[in-house]
Amino acid sequence: MTSTPKGQVAPFSRIKIRVGAVIFCGGEVALIRRDRADSTHYTPPGGNVEDGEDLREALRRELAEELGLDIDQADGGELLWVVDQRVTRPGPPPPPRKLHLIYRLHITPELRGTLAVQELDEQPDGSHEVGIIEWIDYRKTAELPIFPPIGPALATLNDPRATVTDAALDAVTDDTYTWV
């Protein structure tokens, strides 16, 4: 085991929790598409849990911020998957270990019609990255660049309400993922 110089934080020594949701409207799910200069990737709506924040309240806050969704108007809300992320990323500080908690919700077409079509993600410099909300047939997500990589598991569900017997998806590590 390598030691970390005094005063420095070792990679993955901090743990952050991110809540997200797979939001179904029939056979489609809401994903946020982020177009960057050298890549495009998708994420389920959600974000980091704030210090001392209840997980359900964090999910409520994030979905309200990103989609304008009041989760009390949705059905479900059960934990679907957990993804353990230990991926090196560029820049300081050293990367945290991140646990992604992915919940499942179902909404009506009427509610979907009231939701946001884009999401503004504030950057450290005060600017905003625009994310486009796309509704995609869940069975076609296996090959999409989704982070965390839930696409293959999502695409294999028999139907949007299928029972999931093992919530733990494969860990995301430097051996299985390259930071984009």
pLDDT of residue 135: 98
Domains of the chain: 15-158 (3.90.79.10)
Asked if residue 51 has pLDDT above 60, the reply is: yes
Asked if residue 178 has pLDDT above 90, the reply is: no
Main-chain phi, psi angles of 42, to 5 degrees = -120, 150
Asked if residue 81 has pLDDT above 90, the reply is: yes
pLDDT of residue 1: 47
Q: Which two tokens stand for residue 20?
A: 């997200």
Q: Considering only residues 89 and 65, tell me which one the structure prediction assigns the higher pLDDT.
A: 65
Asked if residue 2 has pLDDT above 60, the reply is: no
pLDDT in tens, 91-145: 667 788 999 999 999 999 999 999 999 998 877 888 888 999 999 999 999 999 9
Asked if residue 26 has pLDDT above 50, the reply is: yes
- Please state the pTM of the whole predicted model: 0.89
Measured CA to CA, the distance from residue 154 to residue 175 in angstroms comes to 22
> Which DSSP letter does residue 94 get?
P
Asked if residue 162 has pLDDT above 60, the reply is: yes
Measured CA to CA, the distance from residue 113 to residue 111 in angstroms comes to 5
